[in-house]
Every structure is written in C-alpha cells, then in structure tokens.
Structure 1
Amino acid sequence: MTADATVRRATRERHDAIVGLVREGVDGVELLAERLGVSASTVRRDLSQLQRQGRIARTYGGALVPEVFHERPFTESELINRAAKTAIGRVAVDMVPPEGTVFVDAGTTCLALAELLVGRGPLTVVTRGLEAAVLLARAPLVEVVMTGGRVQPLSHGVVGPLASLALDRLHFDVAFLGADAVDAERGLGEPTVEETWVKEQAAARADQVAVLADSSKLGQHAPAWVAIESTWTLVTDAAAPVDEVERIRARGVRVRTS
C-alpha cells in the first residue's frame, strides 16, 4: 500500500470513528480530539469535510448526526450560531413594509428578527412564539397578537386548534417562518405535524413568505415536513453549504444570504 493510500485509509477510519462518537453523544471538538488522539485543528478539518459530505451537521463547538433528529430546548438553541441569526434578522427586517402586518414564527432565529422590530413601528406582529410576544409587547408602536393554543415545552411555540382558528381570520404582508431543518426536496422540517400545519396556515395567508434558517439547518432531517413553495424566500447565512443552496434555488426558491 502506498503512503497516500495509507493516509486516505487512516482518514476514512478517523471519519467513521467521529461519526460513531457523535452518535453516542460525544460532540465537542476538544473531547473528540482527546478520544481520537489527534489535535483539535484536525478534528475541525474533519468535521468540516464530514459536513460537506452530509454525514454530520456542525453545531456551536461540536457536531450532531443529521439522521438522528434532536430538538434542542429554546435556551440551548439561543447559544448556537447567534451571530448568524442576528445577521439573518438584519436581512429579513428589510422585508417588513411600513405599517404592515407580519407573522413571526417561534424559534431563536425569528426572535432575532423580533428584536429588530421593536423600533420599526407602527406595525402589527402576529406570533406563536412566547419570547417574541413578550419582547414586542414592550414596544410602544407595535401591536402584538398572540395566537392561542398549546405551548410546546422545548420551542415555546404555540400549536393546536386555537392557533389554527386565529390564523384562519388573519392576513399578513409577510410571514416569517422558522425551521428545525430545511431540505430542497422535502421542505421545512419540524418535530411534529402540528407545527408544520401552523406554518402552512400562516404561509397560505401571506402575500410573501420568508424562511429564516441559519446554515446548520440546511440538509438536516426531521420527523415532519411542509413543502417549500417556489414563491418563497430563504434567508440564511454565508456559511450555508453551496450545494444545498443551489438545490434549493433549483426549486425556484429565492435565496438571500446575510
């Protein structure tokens, strides 16, 4: 066996070991380096390559295997890709018309948008996110409408018949949707069918629809899906995988990067 072939084999074996460790819950760069007996920089390079191959998804300081859906608590999600989410919010806020009515979904990326809407009134914001409602209720020129329903314990989003009943009676200039996963073929991924149904209803009542998702969400797996329409816009960050972005664009979806 040549030296190059030996190196390639060692790399493949290390990559397989990383995926196996991540499946077991060992997801920190330093811990992976320690378990594998290599440097942290080597692990970071390996994680980047595995991400491009679609075998893992990068997270804040580590990785997860996309085949295993992992819904994070809101407080944990807030710590992941914070700068990217803020940048996405800055792009999305320019889509809000003066004195308009918008739907803002639950989730930390949509909350980054809500933070920028505080000073954008007069404006009406309908939301199913508890944190967004509390934040915007303090803004003097923003009228806040909270959809009713059952609160999801991890995402703090509201779902169920009461939320559907409220959405049936509303219209939006723009609906801003979050997602736990974005896939060119399947659409927006969420933990439950109820959450995809709320998104579908909000989108159906909007003149424009924008999906706000940081790069870690692209190409991921989820238990339930809602299709992306070709008239929608995806707002993501510059670290989004180029191949995945191109697949989404091929579906007719406009993609804007922060």
Structure 2
Amino acid sequence: MDRHERLSALLDMVGQREKIDVEASAEELDVSPATIRRDLDHLAGRRLLTRTRGGAVASNVAYDLPLRHKAARNAPEKQRISAAAARLVERGMVIGLNGGTTSTEVARALVLRPELAERDGSPALTVVTNALNIAHELAVRPNIKIVVTGGVARQHSFELTGPLASLFLDQITLDLVFLGVDAFDAERGAFAHHEGEASINRLLASRARQVTVIADSGKLGGHAFARICDTAAVDQLITDSGADPAQVAAFEAAGVEVLLA
C-alpha cells in the first residue's frame, strides 16, 4: 500500500468510525505507528480531520471531509429516509435535489421505483440538481430528465454554487425539493456549513411548491454557519426513528409535518 492509498484508507476509516487510534490503525494497515502519526499530521494540516492524543477524530471537521468519506455515516438511516422520500414522488413531477449523502441516496432510490419506469421513450420525471455526482449518476437513466444548474464546483461536496446557478434557478419552478442540510432546528431553521451552498439551497427552496428536509436525527436541534431558510419555509421533515420525541414535537408545533423512517 503506497502513501496515497494509505491516506485514503485513513480518511475512509475516520468517515466510517468518526474516531481512530494510532496503534490500532497501524496494525490494521500493517505499518508502523510513526508512519500513521505522520499521515494523520498531514491530513490534519489539510483540515481533513482533527488530531487527538493517540489518534484522530472527524466530528469537528465533518464539513471539510470529501463527500465519499462521509457517505458511510448513518448509512442505514439515510437509506430508510431516502426510500421514504422517493415514495413521495409522482410521475411527471419536477424534483429538486441539492448535494449531500442523503440527497444522493434519494436519487438512487428514485431510480429503483418501478412506477417511474420509462414509457414510450418519455422520461418519468425531471430532476434539477446542483450536485455533479447526482447528475453523473442520473444522466444515464432514460426514465429521468436531468437538468444541472451550472455554477462553480466545490471540491468537497461536488455542489455547483455562485451567480450562474442563481441565474438559472430564477427561471424555473419545482414541484418538490428534497433539501439535504447540515443542521435543522425547530426555532432557528435549516443550515449548511458553507455560505455558497446555503445560498443556492435557499433559492432551490424558494422555487418549490413543497420543501422537504431530509436529515438523520443527528442533525436535528443544532445549527451550522450559514442559514438556508426559516423553519416556516419547510413543509415536511423526513428523519429516522431515532429522533428525540421532544424535537419531533417542536417541529410539529412549528407547522412542519414529520415523517419517521
């Protein structure tokens, strides 16, 4: 295993476990603890993880981990959430999807629905997205018309942001947008870690007849750097069954329908 493969493996381990130990990682990757320490110092210098005494954690820098290194977090919950979201989609709809691991799972779940199969060469639905990875996966599906916003790509999330994306979104309307978020609080609203992503997500929400936030329970009750929208702008929340009942009640009291997957 060369250094590039080892660094990638360490990021995968942090993404899946959120905390790793130098000695255990050295044994798992069959290298010396000193090598692992140098690797972790290198990744910490690039702000891809945070060094701790005897290891490293990802919790404080989740916003900086590339998308593929976050995909394994809460994977079963995200798959259940995405399946519940896909069931809300009807043939002929125009759907909005922003970036993120849960939104990516929704895109994959849409492909699997037999009700949305291609008929007579016509696509079953239109998906508008600012996420390059989602566009890449759906572009080869004949049953889905994929529309990409344009804009400048962010390396960590694969999302397109900036004025080009805004110019495009100003010209369209959506039936339903599935909004992946970094945090959602019943009083303070929905948040993203990056201000550019928050701006595009806010515009996506403003162009939709229905706004559905898709978030695992770990993202509820907190906040991040940039606000996407107020809670009043959200019609529905799909989260997992591990959500705190008090938080669920708070969202419902704020007028948000909550679906537990």
Does the alignment pair 1:87 with 2:45? Answer: no
How many angstroms apart in 2 are the aligned matches of 1:197 and 1:208?
18
1:249 paired residue among 249, 252, 255: 252
Does the alignment pair 1:77 with 2:80? Answer: no
Match of 2:154 in 1: 152
Match of 2:239 in 1: 236
TM-score (norm 1): 0.72
Deviation at 1:229, TM superposition (A): 2.0
Does the alignment pair 1:181 with 2:183? Answer: yes
Percent identical across equivalent pairs? 35
**Which deviations, in whole Å up to 9, do the C-alpha atoms of 1:12-37 show, x marking residues without a partner?**
xxxxxxxxxxxxxx963x86xx9xxx
Distance 1:181-1:69 versus aligned 2 partners, 3 A rule: farther
- Whichever residue aligns with residue 161 of structure 1, its letter is P
Match of 1:110 in 2: 103
- Structure 1 residue runs of 5 or longer lacking an equivalent are 1-25, 35-61
Does the alignment pair 1:197 with 2:190? Answer: no
How many angstroms apart in 2 are the aligned matches of 1:209 and 1:224?
18
**Which deviations, in whole Å up to 9, do the C-alpha atoms of 1:196-216 show, x marking residues without a partner?**
221121111111111011111
Number of equivalenced pairs:
201
How many angstroms apart in 1 are the aligned matches of 2:234 and 2:98?
18
- Whichever residue aligns with residue 247 of structure 1, its letter is A
| Equivalent residues in 2 for 1:34-113, closer than 5 Å | 70-71=62-63, 72-113=65-106
Distance 1:247-1:165 versus aligned 2 partners, 3 A rule: same
- Whichever residue aligns with residue 87 of structure 2, its letter is D
Runs of 4+ in 1 over 6 A off after TM superposition: 62-65
- Whichever residue aligns with residue 257 of structure 1, its letter is L
SS in 2 for 1:249: helix
TM-score (norm 2): 0.71
2:86 touches 2:110 (CA, 8 Å); kept in 1?
yes
SS in 2 for 1:109: helix
1:69 touches 1:223 (CA, 8 Å); kept in 2?
no
SS in 2 for 1:229: helix
- Structure 2 residue runs of 5 or longer lacking an equivalent are 1-16, 25-55, 118-123
